[in-house]
Amino acid sequence: MKNKNYFTKYLILVLPLLFINLNAQDQVDPLEAARLAKSAAEKAQAEADAATEAAIESAATKAAAQARENAVQAKKDAEAKKIADAKAAEDAELDALAKAAGDEAKRKIAQELGLDDGSSEEEATAEEAESTEAAAEEVEIAEEADEIEELAVKEELGFSIGLAPSIGLVKGATFTNVPMGATLVITTPYGFKLGPLDFTISAAFGFYQGKYESDKVDDDDRIGFVTDFNPSVMAVGGNLTLANFVFAEGHAGIVGKGPGIRGFAGVSLDYLMKKGLDLPVNILVGGEGFISTDMAGGGNMSGWGGLGVRLDYDF
């Protein structure tokens, strides 16, 4: 009876503890399961990444090996083609030499047998000469076409430049001697028609040397002093031409130290030089004159004139 009571007390003490332990076990198992599941998932992801990297590395290695193999094969094919082309060219050259030698031997045998009088060789020579002549004609035609095109371009530009030295004949009181120099005239292709006349715009630039020798006494009691001055010309204007023969040219601008004009009129040899002699130049001959309202800078109006000869070059 005593043992029975002792067992009963033991069960009363153990059963609650067992119940508490089982209850705690029920609360711990889900957390442990989650932890295990996470660990398993991470391990599976790592294994998958390792497998993917291994697959990529394997594919890259295989592609590199295939590319190297293709490059080696392409190089071998190129070398083989080069060798084949060289051999084909050599064979063609040998065949041509053999054919030429055979034709020459055949011709000689035929001549020895009296079957060929050499007309075939003459025909070949004649054909070669005709071919050479045709090639020379083609080259000549091409050169003529180039010359025609060059001339056409020059004609399309329409500009000309001319230099006109002046041979002085008359002078104003400002000069003791007639000024000597030349005028550069640039003619443009721009202009218009005035009935039968052609008006063309141009510009003139000149430089002349002049002087004045005094026979009077100056302020320093010097007799016969000499004053040198070099009048320049910068003017724009144009020229009127009738039938490419008679012309009249005028420019207004600066002559000497003040405003002035330049005039040039006469005959043009354009038809003779270009149509008759086929030259890209023209010669104009006529009278040339200069007038300024202030020739030497002292407010003195003066001028000079003479015979002008100008050579124009077209470009």
Question: What tens digit of pLDDT does each residue of 83-125 get?
Answer: 888 888 888 888 888 888 888 888 887 777 776 555 555 555 5
Of 301 and 30, the one with more pLDDT:
301
Q: Is 268 or 227 the better-scoring residue by pLDDT?
A: 268
Q: Give the Å distances, CA to CA, from 121 to 98, 106, 108, 127, 207.
A: 18, 12, 11, 10, 73
Q: Is 291 left (phi over 0), alpha (psi -120 to 50) or beta?
A: beta
Average pLDDT of the segment spanning 228-253? 90
Q: Which residues of 270-304 are buried (b: 16+ CB within 10 A; e: fewer)?
A: beebeeeeeeeebbbebebbbbbbbbbeeebebbb
pLDDT number for residue 18? 60
CB 306 within 8 A of CB 168: yes
Q: Are strands 302-314 and 232-242 parallel, antiparallel or unpaired?
A: unpaired
Q: Residue 74 above 90 pLDDT?
A: no
How far is residue 36's CA from residue 264's CA, in Å, rounded to a whole number? 117
Specify the range with the lowest mean pLDDT, choosing from 151-165, 212-226, 274-288, 291-305: 212-226
Q: What is the C-alpha to C-alpha distance for residues 296 and 228, in angstroms, rounded to an integer?
A: 9
Q: What would the mean pLDDT of 295-307 be, rounded to a whole number?
A: 86
Question: For residue 273, what is the DSSP state?
Answer: I
How far apart, in whole angstroms, are the C-alpha atoms of residue 248 and residue 235? 15
Domain residue ranges of the chain, discontinuous segments joined by +: 1-117, 118-155, 158-314
pTM value is 0.47
Average pLDDT over residues 249-260: 94
**Using CA atoms in the order 145, 146, 152, 155, what is the torsion angle rounded to 10 degrees?**
-140
pLDDT, position 153: 46
CATH classification for the domain delimited by 158-314, as one of 3.30.70, 2.20.28, 1.10.8, 2.40.160: 2.40.160
Given a contact cutoff of 8 angstroms between Cβ atoms, the answer to whether 265 and 233 are in contact is no
- For tokens 């430089």, what's the residue? 207
Q: What confidence tens digit (pLDDT) does each residue in 95-106 have?
A: 888 888 888 888
State residue 293's pLDDT score.
Answer: 93
CA distance 160 to 147: 20
Question: Residue 46: its pLDDT value, please?
Answer: 80
